[in-house]
Amino acid sequence: MTKKYDVIIVGAGPAGSTTARAAAENGLKVLMIDKDSFAGENTACAGGLAPFIPANYRLKKDVIMRYIDGAVLVARGKIIQNAKVDFKFSKPAATTRRIYFDRHLADIAVEKGAEYMGKTLAKEVRGNEVHTTKGVFKAKVIVGADGPSSIVAKAMGHPPWKPEELALAVAYEVSMPNEEIEERFGNSIWLYFDKELIQHGYAWVFPGNNMLNVGLACMQTHLNGKNLQKLTDRFMKQENINGKILTFKGGALPMCGPRKYTAKGNMLIVGDAAGHTGPAIGEGIRYAMKMGEVAGRCCASHVKLGAPLENYDREWRKKYYWMYRVEKWGQKFEFFAERANLVPIGLKLLSLNPFRHDASWWTEI
Ligand SMILES: Cc1cc2nc3c(=O)[nH]c(=O)nc-3n(C[C@H](O)[C@H](O)[C@H](O)COP(=O)(O)OP(=O)(O)OC[C@H]3O[C@@H](n4cnc5c(N)ncnc54)[C@H](O)[C@@H]3O)c2cc1C
């Protein structure tokens, strides 16, 4: 027998779980499915949480690996070989492991009344039916929170992302004792811009709890046949990071800003599925959660009050589209600065600015 729900959410990452929580809190019958036993199990991520997240969500203590109070940007070039600038945040950011973070968000959605079904791959969306490896489920609304290769986006008529719209990224989790982390990296996240290593991309070191997350991201069309894992190995050697490798994962990120429409008929898309990832550096968790809140509420007003589902599209654009405009300008500026060999010079100048320590504008959004 086909089971019926108000909302079926495909994908239980940050976008899916936040949508599920908001919809369940508003009294809807919600089913959330994920192809993995638990969301986050196979998700590649640096685990960086923008200050908005610890400030606005009551996260369990053991989900946070480390509170982060700043960012250090490092650039290497020919004229200036090593430029470095550090920013301080007015509210703490954090680092996490997705395997714990995503599960925690899914648990909260379940506490609020959503049903969770793991190891369930959605194969196709047909009208109001989701065809999965565990049978067919029906709902009034179907939400695609299923990442960059979303099958719900496909059912809505969106083509796959083009290579020039995607970045590829890989991340290692590497062991390092906390004393060494504190001495070398402190409580800051480190981003490295090194044209010799990678173009139109960057490397990172994010400190955790007795471990680091080290990785590299690059626009797909600028990889020129290079192997991201080998480049990351080279970067780790260069930075003298040689602890035990705990995990290695890779993934894709849409870097072109949101899809033209994110609601159609009885379907909507949210998070990476909708291209909600920030195009400047590929930060996506904060956006996925912000849009998930809007999606969950709009599902409720659609099911309970008959409000059009397109209100979701209108509402998030009205509230947040300006952030994508800013990020896209940031991305253009980065590309220009890199092409003109200006990144190390720019950072050097920035490091002379007496106000550089204040990054509170970022912590407020
Ligand atoms: C290497 C790397 C590092 C990153 N680092 C950061 C960072 O430090 N901070 C940050 O904010 N962002 C980071 N991002 C981006 C961030 O991971 C994403 O933007 C974020 O995960 C988007 O959340 P989401 O819920 O939309 O999608 P996802 O987290 O991708 O969740 C999608 C879920 O859907 C499930 N799924 C997919 N297809 C199906 C299907 N057909 N049926 C059932 N289930 C399905 C998946 O199993 C998954 O659990 C990084 C990305 C990469 C690749």
In Å, how far are 15, 19, 66, 99, 221 from 41, measured between CA atoms? 15, 19, 20, 5, 28
32 Cβ below 6 A of ligand 1: no
Which atom of ligand 1 has the smallest separation from the CA of 47? Answer: 8
**Count of positions (residues) in the chain:** 365
**DSSP 3-state of 365:** coil
Cα of 274 vs centre of ligand 1, distance in Å, is 12
pLDDT at 365: 63
ipTM of the complex: 0.99
Residue nearest to atom 10 of ligand 1 (CA): 283
169 Cβ below 6 A of ligand 1: yes
272 Cβ below 6 A of ligand 1: yes
Cα of 36 vs centre of ligand 1, distance in Å, is 12
Report pLDDT digits (tens) over 29-82.
Answer: 999 999 999 989 999 999 999 999 998 888 998 999 999 998 998 987 766 667
pLDDT band at 357 (very low <50, low <70, confident <90, very high): low
Q: Return the percentage of the chain with pLDDT > 70, whole number.
A: 93
13 Cβ below 6 A of ligand 1: yes
Among left, alpha and beta (phi > 0; psi -120 to 50; other), residue 135 is: left
253 Cβ below 6 A of ligand 1: yes
Which atom of ligand 1 has the smallest separation from the CA of 171? Answer: 1
Report pLDDT digits (tens) over 235-284.
Answer: 999 999 999 999 999 999 999 999 999 999 999 999 999 999 998 889 99
45 Cβ below 6 A of ligand 1: yes
pLDDT greater than 90 at residue 342: no
3-state SS of 17-51 is HHHHHHHHHCCCCEEEECCCCCCCCCCCCCCEECC
Cα of 45 vs centre of ligand 1, distance in Å, is 8
Report pLDDT digits (tens) over 203-216.
Answer: 999 999 999 999 99
pLDDT at 335: 74
10 Cβ below 6 A of ligand 1: yes
Residue nearest to atom 50 of ligand 1 (CA): 45
pLDDT at 332: 79
Which atom of ligand 1 has the smallest separation from the CA of 146? Answer: 34
All domains in the chain, ordered by first residue: 3-363 (3.50.50.60)
pLDDT band at 200 (very low <50, low <70, confident <90, very high): confident
Q: Which residue has the higher pLDDT, 222 or 152?
A: 152
Residue nearest to atom 2 of ligand 1 (CA): 45
DSSP code of 273?
G
Cα of 363 vs centre of ligand 1, distance in Å, is 22
Q: Give which of 342, 185, 202 is closest to 282, Cα–Cα.
A: 202
